[in-house]
Structure 1
Amino acid sequence: MNIINKLTIRHLKENKRRTLVTIIGVIISVAMLTAVATIGVSFLDLMKRETIAKDGEWHVEYHNINPAQLSLIEKDDVTKDLIISNDRGYAVLENSENPEKPYLFIKEYSTEGMERFPIALTSGRLPRTEKEVVISDAIADNANVTYQIGDQLTIDVGKRSYDLEDRELLQDDSLKRNEDNEVSEQLDNTKTETYEIVGTIARPEWEPYWSPGYTVISYLDEELLTPTDTVNASVVLNKINRSLYQHAKNFADQHNIEHENIRYNSELLRYYGVTGNDGLQATMYSLVGIIMAVIIVGAVSLIYTAFAISVSERSRHLGMLSSVGATKKQKRNSVFFEGAVIGAMSIPAGVAAGLVGMAITFHFINTFIGDVLNTTQRLEVVVTPVSILVACSVSIVTIFISTYLPARKAAKISAIDAIRQTQDVKLSKKTVKTSKLVRKIFGLEAEIGLKNLKRNKRRYQATVFSLVISIVLFLTVTFFTSSLEKGLELTQANFNYDIQIFSSDEILESEVDVFANLSHVTESSTIEEYYFSTSIDQSDIAQSLKESVESDQDALQDGKYNYSLNLVALDDESFQAYAKEINFDPNAQGNATAIVIDKSIHYNESGKIIEEKSIYTDPGERLSLYPDNHEREEEQFLGEIEIGALTDHVPMGVNLPYQGNLIAIISDKMIDDLITEDVKTDGNHYLYMNSSDPMATQEAIDDVKDSSVHVYNVYQRRQADQQLILLLSVFIYGFITLISLISVANIFNTISTSISLRKREFAMLRSVGMTPKGFNKMINYESIFYGIKALLYGLPISVGVMFLIYWSMQETFEYSFMLPWMGILFVIVMIFIIVSAAMLYSSGKIKKENIIDGLKQENI
């Protein structure tokens, strides 16, 4: 090691506090980069495992494939593993006490399918021949039909059909009934089969809750297939990339496979970063690119600020080296060597800190996920060479840049200027000039504080830059969070209830009381729904419809557009509670006053999800009611309702309308005044309930309901939606907390180091008579100047980045741009609190020092 490097290490050791501050800054930055990469990789790994646990591990599926085509798929270069399955059909479940599930559904899997699909064996073993089956535990639990291992099961297996639909009914199709609530579907082409029961399984996750058949799994032997048999082939690919979509289509064209028979495991592929939706793909990459760029800038700023202050203080030491013969190259290399030493100590520690921090975080998150979200999988810290390499590479490049600029500057400084440390202090009249208003309004202390900032311009800029980055980081992540939640809200079904009870006849009040008072029911609401149409002036229709009618004037009749109108009548108690939620007093209005939902969600032709106002009007306007058709005869006029309030908030059981549709909410007491008895017969009647135990509530409903009542339990689907939203929220808000803590540490680091480097300056002010009160006022005004300057730069930059995120979301979603005003207000308040706290904390230690010692101060 040469003498220059030895002196550099010695200098680092003698200035322990400054060296430690720099090392901590780099460690925090590297830990942040590592944590972000680990969160992303681990979260995707969790979602992959959760999806595989529910839907099986496969990527592309070909339906109705014959053995010849099956052989070609197996030999395809992209095929890693092949799963063969077959929906053998349905059979009547004798003695079933569950009228909503009268069938057994027989599903056949090959050996690979038994391994790749989530089949949870609860007793016995899996089938090994085509004459063996395992049955679902749900048969005994819900249908009250008991089978034992070893029993012979003789059933007539066929395909479900329905006269009104020219297709085979599948597992996703609910049970078909007629107007009299009688089962109106049948089994065709039945064949008697005898199976031996060799085991039992838990109800499969992939079995839809509304499916009319309990799952029974049998074995599929590929060697027994005849040339006329057809099966489903699920392919596990060697490599997963976006070309798989085109490859599947090309393969299908070459081997006479219909495109509609190709299915993709879209949810699993999404977590590999692969999707067939160009807009969604663009949104994913642009969002990730923007947020990663912001994070990297934050990390770079943290490292750069630490080194910039460090080298600035070290300029005196470099000047001494120059005075004893050190060349420009040696001085420059001395700075590079300092960066290498600090990087060698900080980068490994930062990577370890990031991984340990994520492991601790995941430990607590897993408890939350297991107890609250009821997920089957747990978060695991997934470390990939790429993620660690990226974190280290960015840190190394950042340290190089952070040392390169100060190193060039250090090499050019003359020995006299470096020793006198005049390069960072600007004393020209123009540079330190301040407005006369500053002294008049704030006093002499404020003017001195502002001049101090101007004199130490580089340190001042470094502090402001650190504050700006902190503002941008926090507001960007806050807006990113709200954007993700908005996108998720637009794509997820809006189930705000657990159980729906439907009847084509009016649900009697006595029946409502019975259902609503069942155990575990926490909330209930009855709804009557009637369908009309209404005419809306062209100037008042939704924006997307205005664009449509400009190219198609035939869509208008006498300058008006025909809207479908769903008139939803709530029971009086529910209506009053709903009106209170939106701050509307229905009692102050006249009869036939409605609350109109003025927001809609729909897909456009390119598949983009659009959220917009469904109607532009004001309370007090009236809507005419016509039959739900396209006729417009005057004698068909049925009545009208007055708009009492407009809102985007929907009550329980009601979803946002689609394009060209309006929803009007009224009280059931208004129905008799609005519509006639013959119109009322065409309405639908629902009871919606929330329950603390939806499964137990459904069992209780099944025990008391009659055959005309249908029950739809959406608990599982709703739970899945909430699970995704809550899981995403845990990560994102955890990340906001991490960013906030790092930002605060960054600000304290920068300000405390800057204040420490000004010890001699503060001692000089005190030596010429500045009182403690005046000193405090100067520090306070400096804090204000820091905060104002940071906000003047930080807020516009943040808004710009927010708009970039909003713009990237517009590839897939369309909704209005909204600034996070609460987040902005929070940032403004916190910036002044944090800056003031950092300034007072740092200056408090300086005030305790002796003036003479402060004037002699050379190092931190």
Structure 2
Amino acid sequence: MSIISRLTQKHLWSNKRRTWVTIIGVILCTAMICAVSTLIGSFRNYLMECDKYSSGAYHVSFSAMPYEKVPQLQANAEVSSVGTSYAMGVCNNIKTENPEKPYIYVMALDEAAEALLPVHLVEGRLPQTPNEIALPQHLITNGGVSVSVGQTITLSLGQRTLDGEPLSANMRYVEGESIASPVNKTYTVVGVIERMGTESYNSASYIGITALNSAALAQDTPVNAYLSLAHPSNAYHLIPGLAQSLGITEEHTNYNAGLLAYYGSFASNDTDLTFTSLAVIVIALIMLGSVSVIYNAFAISATERKAQFGLLASVGATQKQIRKSVWLEGLTVGAIGIPLGIGLGIGGIGITLKLVQSLLLDLFNTPGQLALTLHVSPTLTLLAAVIAAVTIALSVYLPAKRASKTSPIEAIRTTQDIKSAGRVHANRLTQRVFGFEANLALKQMQRNRKRYRTTIFSLFISLVMFLSFSSFVDYMNVAANMQLQTADYDYIISSNGTERSAQALLEVYDDVQSNAYLDSAVLRATDGFSFKLDEALFTPQTLSLFRENQYIGYDSELGCEVWYMSLYALPDAEYDALLAGQGLSSPDRSGLVLVSPFEFRDEEGKMHQFNGVNPSALPRPLTLFSWNEIHTVENGEDVYTADGYVSADVNVIGALQTLPSAVFPSSTSISALCSESEYRSLCQSLKSEPLPFSLYLTANDTEAFDAWMAEHPVLGKERSGLNVYSLAAMVAENERVLFIISIFCYGFITLMMLISVTSVLNTISTNMQLRKKEFAMLQSVGMTKRAMGRMLRFESFFYGVKALLYALPVSIGISYLMYCLFAQSFSFPFTLPWMQYLGAVLGVFLLIFATMWYATRKMRKQSIVETIRQDSI
């Protein structure tokens, strides 16, 4: 070991406190980088496994491909595995209780396809021969079919057709379709599987699987091929050329886009660029904060050792050797700090994920037995270590360069730290208000700007990070609460639009009328139409506001100004009671009633609440418009063709001055109510399909009502065709989201705060140590300890004020930028988290005063003469 290396190690050992503070800074910086990369890796792995579970582990699939092409795919070096499936057909000889799903669709899979598709056993085993079958669990729970493992069934398999044209096996049920060329096939049920993610929710078929007999397939038999790629990130570049070489068209090529996204493969280069840019920005911010901390430590160390470097240079040490000394210091600190930081980062994220795992599993509706576990990627861990090493290298470079270029005489005299060129002017106002000691402190900071600026920058970074993330969490809370604040119900029970589900909804409506756990239950069907604007119907304020914000506009095709109407249909009896309560009447239940109350939030976030309908203009006719489309089935798929606008006239008989239950004021449209019979008549005139009714419930005991629904003969059945939406569950989910976001945001803030606090402690305490001679000289010329205390307190106050002057405007600016991003989707006034701002102001002064007190406490008992005579080490 060279003399330079031994001197460097001796210097580190002699300054144990500063060395360990620097190592702690490196540990925290590395831990933050490693924690971020490990967190991203863990979430990426978890979401990837969830996607594989739900949609399959294949990356690309080719449909209707000749079987003879499969060997070519298997021989391709870019394809790691190929799974094959063949459509055996659909049957309807097994009767189900769900009229929208009358079929069983049988797919034959080879072993590779079973591994690549989302096939998950519930009971039994998977088919091993073409005479065995595994049926989906929801055929039993949703379809009401009684089937068990070991049972033998015969299926009459054929092709779905409509008017002689084939239909896709996975499309919705179409009235009038039939099964062509059925062939009986007997299977032994060997297993029950979960519903496959490849089965669409409006499909008319339940998907069952059997084993593929590849030997029985002709070369031109159309099959589906599922590909697992050796390099998934290149999927969108590789597959077009591969498909073209096999003669497969783009419409028969399907990308598993959700899974490919986790490999960094996107269909759009813009999306790829966006994600890459975000990753670069995050890493750059971390490195910026880290460099600012670690650089301070090495800059202080180099300043502290200038006299030593000068002595070494005077006896023949080269610039290279002096640079090597500083680099060796960085290497030693990094060799200790980086491994410990990696361990701390991985361990911290592991503990955090363990604590929030149950919340995350509920939040993401985790399928099967999957769990969010710590996933340590060697690549990401190595990347974190490299980034930390680069950060240390950047921090060491400038101090090493400056140390090697200092001349021996200047270094030994240590004159470069204090700038004496030019006169430093006294501030009379400062001296008059704070005294002579304050003026002396200002002069010292002006002559030694490097140390002063280093301290200010450390405080600045701490404040900006804390206040910006505090604003982010605050805006998240506001946005989440805004989504819920207008709802005056706890549950919505909706039907899927079928006659069976509509009847089930009415049964539930009758049953809840006397339910002790509910306060109200109302039926509503919500639709929307455009209408020709009649200015006489609305107040000037209403017309002005909605025209300015372009919700009322001119339609060139219709040749008039149009606006949008949210139309609420009520059961006829409820509509009659509503009219009677308002002093209105409509014997034949025709016409509409407008809702006069409006809520409108302008661009500044100000809420305008007013009645916008002119009651003196009523009753009055109104023209409604609907955009019509013609539905046909082509090549087994639904096709919709534009047919232009259809109009219908309706009479507006009155206006409501208060909001009825389950009717909400809109910031973009007018709301109106009508009877169910009038709504169906309007839909017929407008050639529009009536939308199904939904049941809105307000509960006084949500837990008890949840238990009641679970035991209800209709709501408790999966095949009822009803969907229950719980606002209480959504509130709980939003709270979980906010809690998890807060944990990670404040965890990130805490790490940044620890790093910044370490930097501030290191900077201030080391500066105090380097100023021992200065303090001793001041005491030798008569400055009392009380006067020195006043000087240091002013310095602390000045550091805090200066840091706040820079940090507060920047933090407010960043907070406003974040507010603007939130304001694109949520309208609320710009606010700041004032309690956090107050805490930051008090915290920064407390930190500085405490550090100053701690650093000067040990100097009080030191001899003035001995302190002047000795070096800072």
TM-score normalised by length of structure 2: 0.76
Distance 1:850 1:695, change over 3 A: closer
Q: Is the 8 A contact 2:34 2:381 kept in 1?
A: yes
Structure 2 counterparts to residues 518-537 of structure 1, below 5 A: 526-535=523-532
The question of 1:395 aligning with 2:388 is answered yes
Deviation track 1:586-610 (CA, whole Å, cap 9, x = no partner) reads xxxxx8435668799xxxxxxxxxx
Q: Is the 8 A contact 1:103 1:213 kept in 2?
A: yes
Q: Which residue of 2 aligns with 1:349?
A: 340
Q: Which residue of 2 aligns with 1:153?
A: 153
Distance 2:388 2:718 in 1: 69
Distance 1:67 1:353 in 2: 54
Pairwise CA distance, 1:301: 1.7
Pairwise CA distance, 1:272: 0.8
Letter in structure 2 aligned against 1:355: I
Of 358, 363, 366 in structure 1, the residue corresponding to residue 357 of structure 2 is: 366
What secondary structure is seen at the aligned counterpart in 2 of 1:533? strand
Of 399, 402, 418 in structure 2, the residue corresponding to residue 406 of structure 1 is: 399
Pairwise CA distance, 1:821: 4.6
Distance 1:343 1:369, change over 3 A: same
Of 223, 226, 230 in structure 2, the residue corresponding to residue 234 of structure 1 is: 226
Q: Which residue of 2 aligns with 1:778?
A: 794
Distance 1:519 1:639, change over 3 A: closer
Deviation track 1:564-601 (CA, whole Å, cap 9, x = no partner) reads 42223689xx99xxxxxxxxxxxxxxx8435668799x
Distance 1:488 1:262 in 2: 39
Between the two proteins, what is the percent identity of the paired residues? Answer: 25
Q: Which residue of 2 aligns with 1:180?
A: none
Distance 2:171 2:411 in 1: 78
Letter in structure 1 aligned against 2:418: V
Q: Is the 8 A contact 1:358 1:381 kept in 2?
A: yes
Structure 2 counterparts to residues 590-739 of structure 1, below 5 A: 592-594=594-596, 619-622=610-613, 625-629=622-626, 638=652, 663-665=669-671, 671=674, 678-679=681-682, 684-688=692-696, 697=709, 700=712, 702=714, 710-712=721-723, 733-739=742-748
Deviation track 1:639-685 (CA, whole Å, cap 9, x = no partner) reads 6868999xxxxx9899999xxxx55456xxx6469979954996742
Of 239, 249, 254 in structure 2, the residue corresponding to residue 263 of structure 1 is: 254
What secondary structure is seen at the aligned counterpart in 2 of 1:17? helix
Distance 1:534 1:448, change over 3 A: farther
Distance 1:748 1:79 in 2: 52
What secondary structure is seen at the aligned counterpart in 2 of 1:341? helix
Structure 2 counterparts to residues 534-545 of structure 1, below 5 A: 534-535=531-532, 540=546
Q: Which residue of 1 aligns with 2:461?
A: 469
Q: Is the 8 A contact 1:471 1:827 kept in 2?
A: no
Pairwise CA distance, 1:28: 1.3
Q: Which residue of 2 aligns with 1:839?
A: 848
Q: Which residue of 2 aligns with 1:768?
A: 783
Q: Is the 8 A contact 1:520 1:697 kept in 2?
A: no
Distance 1:223 1:482 in 2: 64
What secondary structure is seen at the aligned counterpart in 2 of 1:565? strand
Q: Is the 8 A contact 1:625 1:639 kept in 2?
A: no
Pairwise CA distance, 1:829: 3.5
Q: Which residue of 2 aligns with 1:791?
A: 807
Q: Which residue of 2 aligns with 1:749?
A: 758
Of 162, 186, 191 in structure 2, the residue corresponding to residue 194 of structure 1 is: 186
Distance 1:45 1:701 in 2: 41
What secondary structure is seen at the aligned counterpart in 1 of 2:233? coil
Q: Is the 8 A contact 1:593 1:643 kept in 2?
A: yes
Q: Is the 8 A contact 1:533 1:628 kept in 2?
A: yes
Pairwise CA distance, 1:425: 2.7
Q: Which runs of 5+ in 2 are unaligned?
A: 534-542, 576-592, 615-620, 628-644, 685-689
Q: Which moved more, 1:625-634 or 1:291-300?
A: 625-634
The question of 1:378 aligning with 2:371 is answered yes
Deviation track 1:517-546 (CA, whole Å, cap 9, x = no partner) reads 789999966323244322467994697999
Q: Is the 8 A contact 1:619 1:643 kept in 2?
A: no
Pairwise CA distance, 1:127: 0.9
Of 511, 514, 520 in structure 2, the residue corresponding to residue 514 of structure 1 is: 511
Distance 2:677 2:654 in 1: 7
Pairwise CA distance, 1:323: 5.3
Q: Which residue of 2 aligns with 1:248?
A: 239
Distance 1:389 1:227, change over 3 A: closer
Pairwise CA distance, 1:335: 1.6
Letter in structure 1 aligned against 2:218: T
The question of 1:133 aligning with 2:145 is answered no
Of 288, 296, 308 in structure 2, the residue corresponding to residue 317 of structure 1 is: 308
Pairwise CA distance, 1:51: 0.9
Distance 2:360 2:647 in 1: 58
Pairwise CA distance, 1:104: 2.8
The question of 1:332 aligning with 2:323 is answered yes
Q: Which residue of 1 aligns with 2:170?
A: 171
Distance 2:750 2:814 in 1: 18
Letter in structure 1 aligned against 2:525: E
Distance 1:488 1:279 in 2: 29
Pairwise CA distance, 1:411: 2.9
Q: Which residue of 1 aligns with 2:265?
A: 274
Pairwise CA distance, 1:422: 3.5
Pairwise CA distance, 1:393: 2.6
Distance 1:221 1:484 in 2: 55
Of 758, 762, 787 in structure 1, the residue corresponding to residue 768 of structure 2 is: 758
Q: Which moved more, 1:458-467 or 1:478-487?
A: 478-487
Letter in structure 1 aligned against 2:333: I
Distance 1:400 1:227, change over 3 A: closer
What secondary structure is seen at the aligned counterpart in 2 of 1:395? helix
Distance 1:312 1:126, change over 3 A: same
Pairwise CA distance, 1:394: 2.6
Q: Is the 8 A contact 1:80 1:238 kept in 2?
A: yes
The question of 1:20 aligning with 2:20 is answered yes
Distance 1:273 1:45, change over 3 A: same
The question of 1:285 aligning with 2:273 is answered no
Letter in structure 2 aligned against 1:331: I
Pairwise CA distance, 1:500: 1.8
Q: Is the 8 A contact 1:127 1:219 kept in 2?
A: yes
Q: Which moved more, 1:196-205 or 1:500-509?
A: 500-509
Distance 2:647 2:125 in 1: 68
Distance 1:554 1:374, change over 3 A: closer
Q: Which runs of 5+ in 1 are unaligned?
A: 177-182, 576-590, 601-611, 646-650
Distance 2:511 2:569 in 1: 21
Q: Which moved more, 1:101-110 or 1:363-372?
A: 363-372
Q: Is the 8 A contact 2:67 2:217 kept in 1?
A: yes
Pairwise CA distance, 1:209: 5.2
Distance 2:648 2:103 in 1: 51
Pairwise CA distance, 1:361: 2.6
Q: Is the 8 A contact 1:620 1:644 kept in 2?
A: no
Pairwise CA distance, 1:38: 1.7
Distance 1:705 1:445 in 2: 82
Distance 1:815 1:157 in 2: 50
Q: Which residue of 2 aligns with 1:500?
A: 494
Pairwise CA distance, 1:10: 0.9
Q: Which residue of 2 aligns with 1:609?
A: none
Deviation track 1:403-426 (CA, whole Å, cap 9, x = no partner) reads 221223223434554445432233
Q: Is the 8 A contact 1:518 1:697 kept in 2?
A: no
The question of 1:218 aligning with 2:210 is answered yes
Letter in structure 1 aligned against 2:495: I
Pairwise CA distance, 1:848: 3.7
Letter in structure 1 aligned against 2:595: T
What secondary structure is seen at the aligned counterpart in 2 of 1:771? helix
Distance 1:700 1:219, change over 3 A: farther
Structure 2 counterparts to residues 816-831 of structure 1, below 5 A: 821-822=831-832, 825=834, 828-831=837-840
Letter in structure 1 aligned against 2:559: Q
Pairwise CA distance, 1:274: 0.9
Letter in structure 1 aligned against 2:355: F
